[in-house]
Amino acid sequence: MKNLGFQFDENSFNKLFPFYILIDSNLKIIGLGKSLSKTFPSIKLNDNFASTFEVKRPYIENSTTDGLKTIIDQLVVLGTTDDSVDLRGQFQEYKDSILFVGSPWFISMNQVIEKKLTFHDFAFHDPLLDLLHVLKTQEITTQELKELLDRINNQKKDLKRDQQELNRLSLVASANENGVVFTRPDGIIFWCNDAFLKLTGFSKEEIIGKTPVEVGKCEFTNKEDLNKMIDPFFKGETFDVELVHGRKDGSYFWTKTKGQPILDSAGNVIQYFAMIEDVTEKKNADFKLIESEDRLSFLILNLQTGVILEDEDRRVLLVNKKFCSMFDFEEEPDLLIGMDYSNSVEDLKRFFKNPDLYVARLNSILKAKEPVYNEELELVDGRFFERSYIPIFRDGIYKGNLRSYVDITLKKNHQTLLQNEKEKYSSIIANMNLGLVEVDQNDCITLVNHSFSEISGYSMEELVGKNASDLFLTKESKEFVGTKNILRTQRVSDSYEIQIKNKTGENRHWLISGAPNYDINGKIVGSIGIHLDITEQKEQEEKIYLLSLIAEKNINAVVISDAQGNTEWVNSSFEKMSGYTKEELVGIKPGNLLQGKETNPETIRYLKDQISKGQPFNCEIVNYTKTGEKYWVKIQGQALYNKKGEIVRYFAIEENISNKKLLENQREELVARLAKTNKELEDYAQIVSHDLKSPLRSIHSLISWIKEDSDKAFSEQTLGYFSMIENKVEKMDHLIEGILTYSKIDKENLTLESVNTHQIIQSIIDIIHIPKHVTIAIKNTLPILMADRYRIQQLFQNIIGNAVNYIERDPGYVEIASEEYVDHYVISVKDNGVGIAKEHYEKVFKTFQSYTKSEHSTGLGLAIVKKIIEAYNGKIWIESELGEGSTFFVKLNK
């Protein structure tokens, strides 16, 4: 079967109508049958028809295009200029031309012999020669007549067999979803299917007579891709090529074109068969994948982390610039691709402080093939690297590994510096005159210094591990400190006064500067407070300077300004953060030095407004260091008043939140990437849905053909099985469509328009299948909603269809009604079907949940309904009784 094909090319047409004439709209002869050319050798292509032939019967005045069209489908007799032989036949319209098919009107065999014609110059169905042979019966022997009749009969049998095969192939090609074309050996198309017309947008008349290149070539068609098709074609070979194909409207699409030559018994190409598949979606997906791979490759190559990717044989698949610079490779990364890297362990050990340990550990990692993260390595030159190793498996088979190296030298040096600073400040804290206390999240004391021990009256051993509130505070003070502890969890620092009882029960006044306490990862682990016993100094105006001493030890930046906002004092953290010294800041408003081009003017106005009113301020703002480096700070501040209620100074604490802002930006970028990934998954769902539906339609078509061709050969049981298969295929098609619809509901923007639900439900009743025993009635006029027309139709078509499908009672009925409320409508759909048990009320709205054996159910209809209603912030519920029927109530806002 696969070696057979259409034989309807120009040669085949000549066999059927060897005396045809094809005339264009200007009466030029643009086609001649081979036997006609042999009979009238003086007639050439492009001759004027009216100058060469005359219409003898029926009579017309002028042999014009319009005149010829008036005698189409009639018996026509044509005379020729040499007046030796007439032609008889009929005219037919063909595209924009006129086709004459007929034969010579010979009256004797002598005329046939004079024209040097043979039997093969006539169509097999032409009775002319038979008639002429009858006239010359005396010249033909009985044996010759028998041979002639046998030949004619055999030809008729061959023709019938070829015609049957042609019909079958035509049916297959016509029903194919891909485009199919047949061409002559010279590339001229003489047949195509409807799918090809749909793909290209051309009509059949616009395609027949042209080559595939003339039809499909556009400005985006690549010449090299075109040659991959043309060269094999003219060599009589098969081809399989992907290229851009143009459409009639100027657009284009990607095709996968497969060509196959059709050979005669002698091995000569007589036709070409080509199948054209639209692979635009696949190509777009491939382009996106290539773009993603290019972006990922570019990102890896330019990472500040050294990366090397090896295959299972330790050959380099990918290496980036940072890796080469970290290990002093002079070659470009591209030159290392494909290199055997199995000896690299020995080659690189010279870089490390303990080379033997490096070799042993890396060999152990490669052998174990288990992930290793952030393993620290010390190098001979004083650098420190962090190494991570990730093995790569595919289907459980080891395919290579990815190793990364991060230079953490600065981080290590910073940690060492921090440790030194910590030890230095620990000595200061232990001996300073201010009491320092650290508490955990439960207010239990974890650290105190000697000064706190003195002002509290407790020894260090008596304090550590005790609850600070229980030890020092009254009930009222506990409530106050509780609010401060809440502020610490919110990363807020502040200062306050509180009355406590020391070990001897004496009431004392403490001034406390409290702040959140962080671990090395920036996580809040408790609070840290600096305590000053101000019992004797409470009434003194100098308390502001004591507060500055407390602020000096605060891990956050602290600034104190006068009533006009000019800086009086800053702590060392402020100097370190801003890069300015105290001397450079004193007497100047901080904003004049720190604010720059990216500082938000609204935030500046907010600060000025709050300070002018003497109110607390809390905001985030962009500042600039002395060297012009931008950083984000969170500022919390308030005014300080004297006994008369007058503002004497302002106190502000600044926290550097640049890292936090960086994380926020990274999170926004991640959200954007996730949105893009979701879009690609939606596109992928569309492709998968199309690919799933295509074989289902093919199965359905094949079963239909089998039943049509051989229905009498099958038993009733077999035909029943075929019907069951068709039902299952249709159900699978509905299920795929339902899944696609369900997945797209909340992915598409809903169009709001005025929707008449009465008209929509009436149209649903008109188009869905309603069994004869079921009646649907609309009880009252249904409302007009602002919604998406398509979604509303989906909603009610699923509910009404669901009701109709599960009514077994005769007579059955479905009643639709609505009620209006202040801000919403409730539309009900009531039936007298099988009903739903109460325990299934919620489950019926879940995907793939069906509680009947009905063949109509896909388990998605009511899930789609619920999803649409939720998209409109509506509500759906059920009232039902088994065996009596169900009522679905839909609440939709006005």
- E strand residue ranges, 345-383: 372-378
For residues 194 and 136, state if they share a domain.
no
Flag whether 147 is in a domain: no
Farthest-apart Cα atoms in the chain, separation: 155
For residues 457 and 551, state if they share a domain.
yes
**2 vs 720, which has greater pLDDT?**
720
For residues 658 and 569, state if they share a domain.
yes
**832 vs 894, which has greater pLDDT?**
832
Flag whether 355 is in a domain: yes
pTM above 0.75, yes or no: no
For residues 186 and 122, state if they share a domain.
no
Dihedral sign for Cα atoms in the order 219, 221, 222, 227: negative
The answer to whether residues 602 and 584 touch, using CB atoms and an 8 Å cutoff, is no
Flag whether 591 is in a domain: yes
The answer to whether residues 256 and 281 touch, using CB atoms and an 8 Å cutoff, is no
Whether the predicted pLDDT of 143 surpasses 50 = yes
Strand pairing category for 647-656 and 507-518: unpaired
pLDDT at 892: 92
Considering only CA atoms, which of 585, 568, 566 is closest in space to residue 577? 585
For residues 551 and 584, state if they share a domain.
yes
Give the integer Cα–Cα distance in Å for 831 and 814: 4
pLDDT at 8: 52
Give the integer Cα–Cα distance in Å for 485 and 548: 22
Assess whether the previous peptide bond of 601 is cis (omega < 30° from 0).
Answer: no
Give the integer Cα–Cα distance in Å for 769 and 832: 18
Flag whether 158 is in a domain: no
Least confident of 171-180, 257-266, 319-328: 171-180
596-600 contact pairs (CB < 8 A, 24+)? 596/622, 596/623, 596/624, 596/628, 596/630, 598/622, 598/630, 599/623
Considering only CA atoms, which of 797, 765, 778, 766 is closest in space to residue 864? 797
Q: Which of 210, 243, 278 is the last residue of a domain?
A: 278
For residues 612 and 531, state if they share a domain.
yes
Flag whether 57 is in a domain: yes
For residues 493 and 614, state if they share a domain.
yes
CB-count exposure of residue 511 (10 Å: 0-12, 13-18, 19+): buried
Give 284's pLDDT tier (boundaries 50, 70, 90).
Answer: confident
pLDDT at 364: 92
Q: Which of 707, 722, 740 is the last residue of a domain?
A: 740
Tokens 């491939």 belong to which residue?
Answer: 286
Most confident of 533-537, 750-754, 765-769, 821-825: 821-825
For residues 821 and 877, state if they share a domain.
yes
Flag whether 156 is in a domain: no
Whether the predicted pLDDT of 545 surpasses 60 = no
pLDDT at 68: 84
Whether the predicted pLDDT of 1 surpasses 50 = no
- The residue-averaged pLDDT of 190-218 equals 92
Distance of alpha carbon 564 from the chain centroid: 58
For residues 695 and 751, state if they share a domain.
no
Average pLDDT, the chain: 82
Structural domain including 183 reads 176-278
User: Which residues on neighbouring strands pair with residue 817, listed in sequence order?
Assistant: 828
DSSP 8-state symbol, 523: -
List CB contacts of 325: < 8 A, sequence separation 6 or more. 306
Dihedral sign for Cα atoms in the order 308, 309, 312, 314: negative
- The residue-averaged pLDDT of 558-575 equals 90
For residues 683 and 697, state if they share a domain.
yes
Give 141's pLDDT tier (boundaries 50, 70, 90).
Answer: very low
Give the integer Cα–Cα distance in Å for 183 and 208: 9
Whether the predicted pLDDT of 729 surpasses 60 = yes
3-class secondary structure per residue, 113-162 = HHCCCCHHHCCCCCCHHHHHHHHCHHHCCHHHHHHHHHHHHHHHHHHHHH
Torsion of CA 625, 628, 634, 640, to 10 degrees: 50
- The residue-averaged pLDDT of 442-471 equals 90
The CATH code of the domain that includes 781 is 3.30.565.10
The CATH code of the domain that includes 32 is 3.30.450.260
The CATH code of the domain that includes 584 is 3.30.450.20
The answer to whether residues 91 and 58 touch, using CB atoms and an 8 Å cutoff, is no
The answer to whether residues 864 and 737 touch, using CB atoms and an 8 Å cutoff, is no
- The residue-averaged pLDDT of 129-152 equals 56
pLDDT at 580: 94
Q: In the chain, pLDDT over 70 holds for what percent of residues?
A: 81
Give 156's pLDDT tier (boundaries 50, 70, 90).
Answer: low
Tally of domains in the chain: 6
Give 175's pLDDT tier (boundaries 50, 70, 90).
Answer: low
- The residue-averaged pLDDT of 624-650 equals 90
For residues 27 and 64, state if they share a domain.
yes
Flag whether 163 is in a domain: no
Q: Which of 740, 761, 793 is the last residue of a domain?
A: 740
For residues 649 and 704, state if they share a domain.
no
The answer to whether residues 465 and 482 touch, using CB atoms and an 8 Å cutoff, is no
Flag whether 3 is in a domain: no
Whether the predicted pLDDT of 548 surpasses 70 = no
Strands across the sheet with 21-23, in order? 29-32, 21-23, 97-104, 87-94, 76-80, 53-57
Q: What is the enclosing helix (H) or strand (E) of 317? A: strand 316-319
Give 691's pLDDT tier (boundaries 50, 70, 90).
Answer: low
- The residue-averaged pLDDT of 2-16 equals 63
Considering only CA atoms, which of 506, 362, 324, 512 is closest in space to residue 434? 512
Least confident of 69-78, 544-553, 835-844: 544-553
pLDDT at 164: 54
**Which pLDDT tens digit goes with each residue over 411-438?**
888 878 777 766 666 666 666 678 889 9
